[in-house]
Every structure is written in C-alpha cells, then in structure tokens.
Amino acid sequence: MTDRVLRVLANGSAWTTDLLFPVVLVFLQTAIWHWQSSKQQARRNMFFGARVEPDFIASARGESILKSFHLRIWSVALAVILAYFFLLWPRTTRPEDLAKSLLFVFFASMLGNLVNFGLANRRTGREAAGIPEPSSRTAALFADEDKPNLWLTVVDWLGILVPIAMPLATIFIVALRWNQFRSNDSPLVALRQLLLMAAFGSFAAGTYFALRFRARSSDWAPDPRASRRYRTLLGLVQSSVFSYIIFDSCWLSLMPLLKGERSGDMNTYFRFSSPAGVGWFFALLAMLL
C-alpha cells in the first residue's frame, strides 16, 4: 500500500481523483451541515426541526445540543475518510471501483449526518418545551391565504418525481436490453444498484412530499406565501442532491451497455461528473445563501 501511495502522489491526476476528491467531498458536505445547523439559530422558533421557545436556542442546553451535533458529524466525516483509505481505496483497481467507492463516501457521510440530525431532534424534543399549536381559526386563515402557485407546483412535483423516475426508467432500459450485457458484466449487479437507487429516491421524494404537503405553513414563516417558497427551496435543494447522485449511479449502471461509445468510457464519466459535481455544489450554495 505504501508503494501505491507513492505512485499516486507522483501522478497528479490520480492524486486528485483518488486522494483529494473524497476528502473534499466529505469535508464540504459536513461543512454545509455544520453551517446550516449554526444558522438555524436565526430561524423563527425552529431548532433541529423542532418548534421551541426562542430562549431555548441560546440557552446552555441548546448550545450543548448544537456542540454535540457538530462533534458527531465531524467524527462521522473522519470515520468515513479513514474507512475509504484503509478499507476501500486499496481495492480500487479499476475506474468503476473508484466510482463506487466515491458513492459510498458520499452516502455514508450523508446518512451519518441524517442520523445525527435525528438524534439532535429527539434530544431537543425531550429537553425543550414545545410551542403550542395555533388555534383553529389561525390555521384556517393560513390555509385561505396559501393560494396555489403554478410555477411552485411544477417545481414541487418535479422535485418529488425526478428522484424516483430516473432509477425506474433505467431499470426499464436494463430489462429491455438484459441479453445485451456481456458475460463479464452481470445485469443483476446493475439491477441491484438501481433498486437501491429507487429506494434512495423514494426517501428523497417522500421527504419532499411531507415538506410540501404535510408541514404546517406557520412553522416555517408567518406569511403563507413566504413559507411556501421557503419549503419549496428546501425541498428543491434536497431533491437536487439526491437526483445528482442517482443520475451518476444510473450512468454507471448503464456503462456495460455503452462500452465502445464515448459515454461508456470511464474517462468521459469522470471528465463530466467531477466538474458537474463542483458546479452543482456552488449552485446549492447560491440557493442556500
């Protein structure tokens, strides 16, 4: 392994792809979680997804929950990077293996952060006194003022359906061309990966659906129209993250069928997916700021 590290460091392209990119991927994702969790103190009565009294956010208990969350997410980031270097990277002998390892790095970090967010939400619910529900009259007024908006409705449904539609469409293509897979490329491997992506996309779609159609408008902004726009923005950010990952995975699943074509070459995959990932990241930052 030491010899391979030296060879990779001597090769600038491999050093960037094999060593630097996974670290940057995990670091940027964790930094976003850290920044967003710290920024929530300015959000009206919301702390890790729970409605609390304003004084709780700046209290000692609130600060303790926030610090504990930050410690856990950075611990997860370190664990994921170490797992990549010592368990996955020594086995990445092909570009396909590297792509799968990078997907693992992203998935593991994201799922770890989601679990830690849930733990922070649970602790907040135990230690904070919740804000009482709005009266029936207030809720009715909010519902009356929340007028339908065609543009936001289209964006909402695209954000809900795209993460599910992409893996399902790719599964349909794999099924149609099942016999065209070569002997050393099993369609079952592609099918398993796509089914995983379909479940992954269902999670994103369900979360967006709940955020749009099951969340109380007053929890997110006093003005129903502002609440609608804010919830659409949050759902769109989440859906775009999942959709980008699913698109990359679908592309990899179809790679055995595209061999001999430009889009079936791993060099082409990295040439387009890596800059797209960086551009997508800055686009997300622009939406969040």
Last residue of a domain, one of 107, 131, 155: 131
Q: Residue 75: its pLDDT value, please?
A: 93
Residues 150 and 104 in one domain: no
User: Quick check: 185 and 256 in contact, CB under 8 A?
Assistant: yes
Q: What is d(CA 113, CA 33) in angstroms, rounded to the nearest whole number?
A: 8
Last residue of a domain, one of 96, 131, 166: 131
Beta partners for residue 52, in sequence order: 130
Q: What is d(CA 179, CA 183) in angstroms, rounded to the nearest whole number?
A: 10
Last residue of a domain, one of 131, 160, 193: 131
Residues 183 and 285 in one domain: yes
Residue 136 lies in a domain: no
The counts of H helices and E strands in the chain are 11, 2
pLDDT by 10s per residue, the chain, length 289: 445 544 544 444 444 556 677 787 788 778 878 887 877 655 556 777 777 777 788 888 888 999 999 999 999 999 988 888 887 766 666 666 666 677 778 778 888 888 888 888 888 888 876 555 555 555 554 554 455 678 888 889 999 999 999 999 999 988 888 888 776 677 888 888 888 888 888 888 888 888 888 777 766 666 777 778 888 888 888 888 888 888 888 888 888 887 766 666 666 776 777 677 666 666 666 655 5
Task: Quote the pTM value.
Answer: 0.59
Residues 234 and 269 in one domain: yes
Q: How many domains does the chain have?
A: 2
Residue 138 lies in a domain: no
Q: Residue 96: its pLDDT value, please?
A: 61
Residue 154 lies in a domain: yes
Locate tokens 């949050």: which residue? 234
Q: Residue 286: its pLDDT value, please?
A: 60
By residue range, what is the domain housing residue 231? 145-289
User: Quick check: 69 and 114 in contact, CB under 8 A?
Assistant: no
